[in-house]
Structure 1
């Protein structure tokens, strides 16, 4: 009688690896490369193969481990987010695994495939994946998404709209009738939300807004954005994040453009560097530490069987920190 149930050997033949490699992919994913893991899992899904582990392996898969993935750990915002997550994990009796996908959606997908096998729950920080891909992860493992609203998945977001409105009100009050938004990564949900808020606030005031980018949210890309603006600088800029804003400041100042006398600049995040630069950066302070704390508390609750009370994201308050990089709009004249 023919056995129609696919075996580990069928998966191995289909993807051209050994049976032991297929076994390690499911039982010890840390021992298999991301590319091999993706190939094996695709073959298993095509065949309808379901891995069957011994009891000892099943117990290892639930050993008080949580995971957090971030877009770029060199970004100081994520330092605070992870710190909050680590504090909350420790209080709940869990260890925390960190994965950095370096602004790559392909790498993010591979990291999540690995983590699904080793973590009890996952916190996803600023994902670059599609909503359906995130729902698929959440269907397999308790998941909380940060800085992104995904219907049907537990989500936490800072109040981007109110922060941008406060910054735009400040700039309009200083006489700026046009604001340039320097955009972050193209796949960033938060970036789209911030630019939409800039446009809404500008339209409500009868003013104009423009956008340049996208840029990576880094100091180096801020310098690049400055090079694009230096010949015809706007009077006011809101940048996707503080590091981009600080790069902009340095690039414009190096070209002889004064901050804020010639150009006012607002950042987003309130990282430590925003208070160390000259002039000190006006910024929208996001509650990164609190986001990390709350995200882990929520994912632990999901692991323990809680059901989200709402399909909407939990919105956390932000605060505009007015410092030295914003001032009255300059008179209409050439700076070059």
Structure 2
């Protein structure tokens, strides 16, 4: 097996000089020396000993990403973007934890990541004020929240929060439907008092009140079993459609769903029963997952600037990992409407349909 000494011998330099190249300490190195060492590493197919690096530094160039479900395309997209930016811009890799929004899973992954020398994590969780998060922070783990934090208590933030403005997302979706002359509205969500979900519903109801629409009975909560949740969102959508068909004499004319996957499940179920989208019911989602444009009709949705959010998360997290003393802040990114074919629209100037 090729070792660092072999690289040093071939390049005609000391072992410490090769070590500097491996660890990115090349600011004071001559360009010719750097290029020669890099070529020798390539020629010898040398792979640095990550365990040795960890023992020396106490950490690895890796961050953790905790998500509720691999099955949710929105979280899969987030992980994909984070991995690309972390690798290409910072030389970091990521370790992913699938938590199913379970406290024990979150705690387990944080402990495992810490044991591997990982000192930073991006977390999608309903409540980052939980004991296991506070304990991880006290033990040196740097955490960024992607699901938002409750800043209503005016307490000092423990961690950064970087998220879409979910209140604005719900408000934007409802307002668009109302502007198309649709006033019989329903918000379909999943059971669970998660901050991002509650903010979307609050924004939805705020829009209704602004237009003088009664909000009573406008929220449908699907109480899923353990088999549901983020891992089976389309099935939740079909269940919501069945509930409305069974329990309402008249279907709502406009529906906003908690995310795109629930919307796609509802559209599929309604269409299988001969209910036309958007002629009979207009449906709008939140997320703008890649599947939304492939559905027939394509899904009108609310999109977040996920690339900008990912860049900000990594910039602040890696700065902390590498010693910066940034004060925790909340960053809210504005959503935007992506108008497609699942909403019956009134022709207006300024409304662009994205195909």
Residue 68 of structure 2 is matched in structure 1 by: 71
Structure 1 pair 101–185 and aligned structure 2 pair: CA distance change class (3 A): farther
The partner residue of 1:62 within 59, 62, 66 is 59
2:175–2:208 CA contact under 8 A, matched in 1: no
SS for the counterpart of 2:66 is strand
Q: d(CA) in 1 for partners of 2:122 and 2:219?
A: 31
Aligned residues: 273
**1:247-262 map, 5 Å:** 247-262=265-280
8 Å CA contact 1:261–1:328 kept in 2: the answer is no
Whether contact under 8 Å (1:80, 1:289) holds in the other structure is no
Q: CA-atom RMSD, angstroms?
A: 2.2
| Cα distance in structure 1, aligned partners of 2:244 and 2:120 | 44
Matching residue of 2:235? 220
Distance 1:220 1:248, change over 3 A: same
1:94 corresponds to:
92
SS in 1 for 2:130: helix
Decide which structure has the larger Cα Rg and report it: 2
- What is the CA–CA distance in structure 2 between the aligned matches of 1:304 and 1:166, rounded to whole Å? 39
For 2:253 and 2:293, locate their aligned partners in 1 and report how far apart those are by CA, in whole Å.
22
2:122 touches 2:146 (CA, 8 Å); kept in 1? Answer: yes
1:323 is aligned to 2:340: yes
Give yes or no for the alignment of 1:234 onto 2:252.
Answer: yes
For residues 193-221 of structure 1, the C-alpha deviation after alignment (integer angstroms, 9 at most, x for no partner) is 10111111111211133111245341111
1:196 and 2:202 equivalent?
yes
**Structure 1 residue 271: Cα displacement:** 0.7
Could you tell me whether the CA contact under 8 Å between 2:171 and 2:200 is conserved in 1? no
**Is the contact made by 1:71 and 1:103 (CA closer than 8 Å) also made in structure 2?**
yes
Q: TM-score, normalised by structure 1?
A: 0.75
Tell me if structure 1 keeps the 8 A contact 2:67–2:99. Answer: yes
Contact 2:299/2:342, CA 8 A, preserved across alignment: yes
Match of 2:177 in 1: 171
Question: Separation in 2 of the partners of 1:66 and 1:161?
Answer: 29
**CA 1:213–1:204: 2 relative to 1, 3 Å:** same
Show the counterpart of 1:35.
none
Once residues 123 and 114 of structure 1 are traced to their aligned partners in structure 2, the CA distance between those partners, rounded to angstroms, is 15
SS in 2 for 1:230: helix
CA distance in 2 between partners of 1:171 and 1:56 (Å): 56
Runs of 5+ consecutive residues of structure 1 not aligned to the other structure? 1-54, 330-336
SS at match of 1:314: strand
State the 1:294 CA deviation: 2.2
Match of 2:113? 115
C-alpha separation in 2, matches of 1:197 and 1:245: 18
Decide whether aligned partners of structure 1 residues 263 and 56 sit closer, same or farther in structure 2, where only a CA change above 3 A counts: closer
Structure 2: 5+ residue runs without aligned partners? 1-51, 151-156, 347-355
Residue 211 of structure 1 corresponds to 219
What do residues 103-126 of structure 1 show as CA deviations (whole Å, max 9, x unaligned)?
Answer: 33332222222222221211112x
C-alpha displacement of 1:58 = 5.0
State the secondary structure of the residue aligned to 1:302: helix
CA contact (8 A) 1:84 1:290 kept: no
Which one has more relative contact order, counting CA pairs under 8 Å at least 6 apart? Answer: 1
Residues 216-255 of structure 1, C-alpha deviation per residue, up to 9 Å, x if partnerless? 3411111111111124321111101000100011111122
The 2-side partners of 1:61 and 1:183 are apart by 43
